[in-house]
A and B are shown apart, each in its own frame.
Chain A
Amino acid sequence: MHISEFDAHTQDKQVKPPLDPHLKALENEAIHIFREVAAEFERPVMLYSIGKDSSVLLHLARKAFYPGRIPFPLLHIDTGWKFPEMISFRDEMAKRFDLDLVVHTNPRGLKENISPFTHGSALHTDIMKTEALRQALDAGQYDAAFGGARRDEEASRAKERIYSFRTPDHKWDPRNQRPELWNVYNGMIRRGESVRAFPLSNWTEVDIWRYIQAENIPLPPLYYAAKRKFVERDGMLMWAEDKRFEALPGEQIQEDYIRFRTLGCWPLTGAIKSHATTLDDVIAELEIATVSERQGRAIDRDQAGSMEKKKREGYF
């Protein structure tokens, strides 16, 4: 039998129970989108931001193209302010899954020493994330970029298409999105234009966690509770173990069991107090959570409609 080399892989696996129909439907839809974009575009790339959504996205990409390799590179925009555990996790995954990983940091931001503390979260995000992303996409001449955004994250995301059309300067025009009927996606663009594709559009946070559990997907340990140092600042629990961290006058560095519901730049990502050290614990906590996952994100609270504004400018 000529596919024996691939059978080996499947036989190694212990038999796991079939996915429940709801997750199976979401998985099927995501795989369909991956394949469609890979077939229609010349130079796709996948944004890999190391968090739980990216981890699910990566897993789905491997499934979509199995038994082949993922036929496009992964792009990580490194702001220089990511948790070190994220970076080591990223490198481990790249090695384990033989990924074609591209890492980009905005050279202008590096030179000007852009920092969320001295320049503020808005400017930091503009330069180190949005501008950096535009640079990397232009440099790679990518015409399609996968992202792990979900519609349940935020009100302007809830409005976004699965194929989200971008102008040559990466702008999103929420008032003139292309109609997107059935699962027939319009991938026709002119040179310089591009599409952001969101295979996880219809997933919720709970779906992500239940899928991670069902599929045994590896995650950075930051999602699980551990004793970590932090301070309370502006109602947010800020991680305080980096050497660039400076306590403000009157701030107490505390140590307790905390974890993160989303991962980003550590000065902008709030932790929650938690003793959830396993996946089961995390899901149990989530099911009774009374605040949304983005509550810990400084970027969303800067101003009303701030996500839409950033997206119009080319943010993912």
Chain B
Amino acid sequence: MTATATAAVIAPAAEAAPALRDTRPLRLITCGSVDDGKSTLIGRLLWDTKAVKEDQAAALNRDSGKQNDLGLPDFALLLDGLQAEREQGITIDVAYRYFATDKRSFIVADTPGHEQYTRNMATGASTADLAVLLVDARAGILEQTRRHATIATLMGIKQFVLAINKIDLINYDKARFDELSREFKEIALSLGVKQVTAIPVSALKGENVVYDGKASMPWYEGPTLVQVLELATVRSAQTVGFRLPVQRVSRPGESFRGYQGTVAGGAVKPGDSVVILPSGMVANVKQIVTFDLVRNAAVAGDAITLVLDRQVDVARGDMIATIDAQPQVGLAFDAQLVALQPGGIEPGKRYWLKSGSRRQRVSVQPSSLLDLKSGKWNRHDGALPMNAIGKVHLSFDEAAIFDAYELNRTTGAFILIDPDTNNTVAGGMIAGKRGDLGGLNNEAERVILSLPADLADKILASGLLSERRDEVDIRRTNPGRAAELLGELDG
């Protein structure tokens, strides 16, 4: 890295540009504290990429009034479309906007900075690939800045742009820019974020947004915001095997039975062996049906209808998965969550949990709470107040099916719904199945069996086994390897 101000690039994307450009849109959010200029920045971005049409520009000029001495329109009004937002001059709910450059298209979620509306920031962050974190150069990094950085990281965002904004109001002071970049670098390290690009910007004047700010900041030689966005990567492929959360069973006639859903990980093709969870029954994929053609493969993201080669019991909420790398099935999981509503999350209360197409009862026991100032997890078993980030134990009445969120952003994510209000009260990320299952048989002896596959399938399909499926470990392998493994145990 050079010694000049480009050193703001803390860890540039190391991998070479892909040969084929990704034409999927990049999903990003703006976040940060109140009034840091998030909406102004996106408004400016839309303006400078010509995404604002003449009639919209006329309305903007009409509505802007005299909010700055530069004679510029109030770009935030392009985003703050609710009457209450315009009256108060703040963002309340996330706005989704779409724009494109010659190189790529973008879906941007402009989120509110106000702490009261953290839930709406979390809504935007859950699907984003990149976060533009704003800081008002005068105010510096605040608790709310840390909260947003933390939530974005928890939700799996790995690429950050630190936009040090309103640089025009501090005379384009390089020393201040360097100081704030350094300060954030420490926070990023503690959050495990490796990829941060710091950029000095004036959202209002459009400096280092789409056009460079060389005229006022000759000392900055790094990229503009748009240049960073154009090079960012879309969420990398999920690392676990094939997953299909079943949304509905399609039975248009006696002769057809297909399982409809969106592939949540991996890939599938006819002939593949799959397991149906939580029952543990197995089958082979016979066909992948879509409106256009009978396909010979489907990958993550595809909405498909799967036909299996035999009659098995499959219902909405079940998961069809590859046999070789199955998700975790169990009655107890650990998770992190963000409390989103004024009532917080109460220990021991029974909520509805929804993940994919599966909805089930859960009771939630907080175990620790994140202190945003120090970045430390403190032991905490009381209620989680609104906007808190906590670690919790989840206990289910019926088997739950998850991957760790780290491994799969779809099968590892869930929401909690309060049965009293029906409102969504938390967003959660699965850490993993709980090891210290308080089950009766935990301390007992274990038996390892090696069985012919057809016999194992019959046992798995039995009621007795499916009831305690989460206590059983299963691996499929060939006879030679099985003998080898058993041999190792004897030796």
Contacts and interface: CB of A to CB of B under 8 A. Distances in A.
Interface of A: 2-3, 5-7, 10, 13, 15-16, 20-22, 24-25, 27-28, 31-32, 35-36, 38-39, 62-69, 151-152, 154-159, 174-175, 177-186, 188-190, 201-202, 204, 289-292, 294-295, 304-305, 308-309
Given A39-B248, A174-B92, A309-B83, 11 more contacts: A27-B303, A31-B303, A63-B290, A67-B258, A68-B252, A155-B78, A158-B96, A174-B93, A180-B424, A181-B122, A308-B81
Given A22-B25, A25-B301, A66-B291, A158 B81 contact: yes
B354 interface: yes
A306 B78 CA distance: 16
B409 A202 contact: no
B356 A184 contact: yes
B302 A28 contact: yes
A134 B290 CA distance: 35
B23 interface: yes
Interface residues of B, number: 74
Contact of B55 (A15, A63, A292): A292
Given A21-B23, A66-B291, A290-B53, A35 B248 contact: yes
Interface of B: 22-25, 53-56, 59, 63, 78-84, 86, 92-98, 105, 107, 119-120, 122-123, 126-127, 247-248, 250-253, 255-256, 258, 260-262, 287, 289-294, 301-303, 305, 307, 316, 340, 352, 354-357, 409-410, 413-415, 417, 422-424, 427
Contact of A2 (B54, B80, B84, B256): B256
7 contacts: A10-B292, A32-B247, A36-B247, A39-B357, A66-B305, A184-B354, A305-B83
B413 A2 contact: no
Contact of B83 (A5, A35, A308): A308
Contacts of B417: 186, 188
Contact of A175 (B92, B97, B414): B92
Contacts of B86: 305
A178 B94 CA distance: 12
Contacts of B410: 182-183
A186 B427 CA distance: 12
Nearest to A305: B83
A154 B356 CA distance: 30
The dominant DSSP class at the B interface is mixed
A130 B410 CA distance: 37
Contacts of A63: 290-292
A179 B260 contact: no
A185 B81 CA distance: 24
A62 B303 CA distance: 13
B82 A184 contact: no
B476 to A, nearest CB: 29
Given A35-B303, A156-B81, A3 B287 contact: yes
Contacts of B56: 292
A155 B84 CA distance: 13
B107 A22 contact: no
Contact of B126 (A7, A31, A158, A182): A182
A32 B244 CA distance: 12
B123 A180 contact: yes
Contacts of B357: 36, 39
A152 B22 CA distance: 22
A202 B22 CA distance: 18
B213 to A, nearest CB: 28
A181 B120 CA distance: 9
B45 to A, nearest CB: 14
Nearest to B300: A28
A308 B82 contact: yes
B97 A158 contact: yes
A154 B81 contact: yes
A135 B58 CA distance: 37
Contacts of A3: 255-256, 287, 289, 307
